[in-house]
Structure 1
């Protein structure tokens, strides 16, 4: 190992140690969890728009969500029921945008619906998802 290589290694090691030191200075995470947050959802509607072939947009509105996840789940429930209504068994999540204005949460979720399990990591089985939505009292279309 040459002197130049040792110098580079020591800089890399120093950088890693410095980052670990900075991470240790971060404030502790809030001990309250999502499950502890108040949750009194008011589901205010779903708008569906066919974008292209099997690509569908679901716009949802609600009040009382804890965070973006509650809004995204509402969109997923809409997509799952829509897939079943159209005779399909699956959907693949493309994206979800969530915004909150004046206490109103709005979500715009896009899914690809299909009759066979689509490729991708974020796929849903429509029947299983609708059953879970019903169990959790999340409305569908």
Structure 2
């Protein structure tokens, strides 16, 4: 009788061991991101201190790279107008056929603006240059 109880227990233990061996940890198998291919920047002054930035890229990490690209573009725009700072207002991101597009709006100013999403144009422009992200 004890033998009958032992067999199912062994079978369950063996089944658990086999299924555990077959499990894969997929965290190390994440697909590497494709390096972004920067497709261009357009800027449109909406007012003296308000700018709309349009950027496009292929590959990369989508919205994250679009936001970085737009920050690089607005940093250059800000410095070209002898201002030192920008403040992010909004970014809309779309993707179609592998092409990511960003439409971002920023205020620019000579002094640090109020708010949480501020950009020091010199610092950001330097980081963009070091990381190979175009600004014009």
Report the TM-score, using the length of structure 1 for normalisation. 0.74
Q: Indicate the structure with greater strand content.
A: 2
Distance 1:104 1:88, change over 3 A: same
Give 2:13's aligned residue.
Answer: none
Gaps of 5+ in 2: 1-25
Of residues 69, 84, 97 in structure 2, which corresponds to 1:89?
84
Compared CA separation, residues 138 and 119, structure 1 to 2 (3 A): same
Select the structure of larger CA radius of gyration: 2
- TM superposition score normalised by structure 2: 0.76
Number of residue pairs matched? 111
Counterpart Cα distance in 2 of 1:33 and 1:126: 37
Mark the CA change 1:119 to 1:32 in structure 2 (over 3 Å): closer, same or farther. Answer: farther
Alpha-carbon displacement from aligned partner over 1:52-105 (angstroms, at most 9, x marks no partner): 221100000110121201011000000001000000000000011100001100
Which structure 1 residue ranges, 5 or more long, are not aligned? 1-29
The CA RMSD measured in Å over matched residues stands at 1.8
